[in-house]
Amino acid sequence: MKISEILDQAKDPFISFEIIPPPRGRSAKGIYEIIDELVEFRPPFIDVTSHAADSYFIEQNDGAFTRHIKRKRPGTIGLCAAIKYRYNVEAVPHLLCQGFNRQETEDALIELNYLGIDNVLAIRGDQLQYQKDQTSGREVNKYALDLVKQIDKMNQGQYLEDILDADESDFCIGVGGYPEKHPDSPSQAADLRYLKQKVDAGAQYIVTQMFYDNQDFYNFVDLCRAEGIEVPIVPGIKLLTKNSQLSSIPSSFSVNVPDDLVKAFEAAKDPRERTEIGVAHTTRQCEDLLNNGVKNLHFYVMRDTHLVKKVVKSLKMI
């Protein structure tokens, strides 16, 4: 079932999740255990992130640095197939511009089509330190808009090579949205114009970056509607439970943390109290969103599955 149809037909609020494939060298046992816990809440869909290779540097004893390539977390497509057929839940693989060329993207789309997975989230991805050499004649999608256009063309039976009587795919395309502006956009107005272009090119729904002040989300929705963006907008939720996240999350994702939440974390006596503060804040966020007519809460799940479950259970939605 298409995510656009799920969002359109939902009569009651529901929960969805985003998970990360296990690192290279790990089995799927751990991620299955996480999914086993999440399906208790009957999510109609689960997103699975995608990861390109990147580089990092290690300092040697002589002070010199050596560059190493960190290979991507593989398994996005396989994990999506497991979610769909092992758990009977729609899977949404992330497709990236960064680290993948258009030919690799087309191959991935063909595999997904064969598997009966017809939902994808098209995003640019983070800038990478490592850029692999591209074979002559192979092109990349520079922006998410280019990626959306490629997927939409496949939906019309247009592939990278001219193929006579090619079959059409039927992907539902989601894209990301940034309530506090994408860090690389020159302004929020420009960011909204770019988002509108992605919707006009074929995107059928939007999932937002995390935020910690609901007013940022409400303002974003109003601005999208004023821009003529009418597709569903799903709020992304991420728990804040550690002191280190006060700096890591804003710097990594360009989001703001409200002063009262920062002060509460700084005044907390121990990690347990910080966790309770974060869970309480996220619970209030979710309750406010639901009370204001939001139909779908999308949780970014890392190693905090038990805390996400605590929040969801307190909402008494299931």
Q: Give the helix, strand, coil percentages of the chain, each rounded to 5.
A: 40, 20, 40
pTM greater than the 0.85 cutoff: yes
Task: Give mean pLDDT, residues 15-30.
Answer: 93
Is the pLDDT assigned to residue 25 strictly greater than 50? yes
Amino acid at 306: H
Task: Give mean pLDDT, residues 152-164.
Answer: 95
Over residues 279-307, the pLDDT tens digits come to 999 999 999 999 999 999 999 998 889 99
Is the pLDDT assigned to residue 68 strictly greater than 80? no
Q: What is the pLDDT of residue 115?
A: 98
Task: Give mean pLDDT, residues 205-229.
Answer: 98
Task: Give mean pLDDT, residues 113-135.
Answer: 76
Q: What is the pLDDT of residue 100?
A: 87
Is the pLDDT assigned to residue 56 strictly greater than 80? no
Collect all residues with Cβ–Cβ distance below 8 Å to 263 and sequence separation of at least 6: none
User: Are 8 and 44 spatial neighbours (Cβ–Cβ below 8 Å)?
Assistant: no
Over residues 177-206, the pLDDT tens digits come to 999 988 888 999 999 999 999 999 999 999
User: Are 191 and 184 spatial neighbours (Cβ–Cβ below 8 Å)?
Assistant: no
Q: What is the pLDDT of residue 273?
A: 96
* Neighbour count for residue 157 (Cβ, 10 Å): 12
Q: What is the pLDDT of residue 111?
A: 97
Which domains, from first to last, does the chain contain?
3-315 (3.20.20.220)
Q: What is the pLDDT of residue 63?
A: 44
* Neighbour count for residue 252 (Cβ, 10 Å): 11
Distance from chain centroid for Cα 159: 26
Task: Give mean pLDDT, residues 260-271.
Answer: 95
Helix ranges (DSSP H) in 69-187: 76-86, 102-115, 144-155
Q: What is the pLDDT of residue 269?
A: 92
Measured at the alpha carbon of residue 240, what is the angle toward residues 238 and 245, in degrees to the nearest 5? 115
Q: What is the pLDDT of residue 280?
A: 97
- Report the C-alpha gap between 48 and 80 in whole angstroms: 7
**What is residue 172's DSSP assignment?**
E
Full DSSP string of the chain: --HHHHHHH-SS-EEEEEE-PPPTT--SHHHHHHHHHHGGG--SEEEE-----EEEEEE-TTS-EEEEEE-----HHHHHHHHHHHS--EEEEEEESTT-BHHHHHHHHHHHHHHT--EEEEE-----S--PPPPTT--B--SHHHHHHHHHHHHTT--SS--TTPPP---EEEEEE-TT--TTSS-HHHHHHHHHHHHHHT--EEEEEE-S-HHHHHHHHHHHHHTT--S-EEEEE----STTHHHHHHHHH-----HHHHHHHHH-SSHHHHHHHHHHHHHHHHHHHHHTT--EEEEE-SS-HHHHHHHHHHHT--
Over residues 123-132, the pLDDT tens digits come to 998 654 444 5
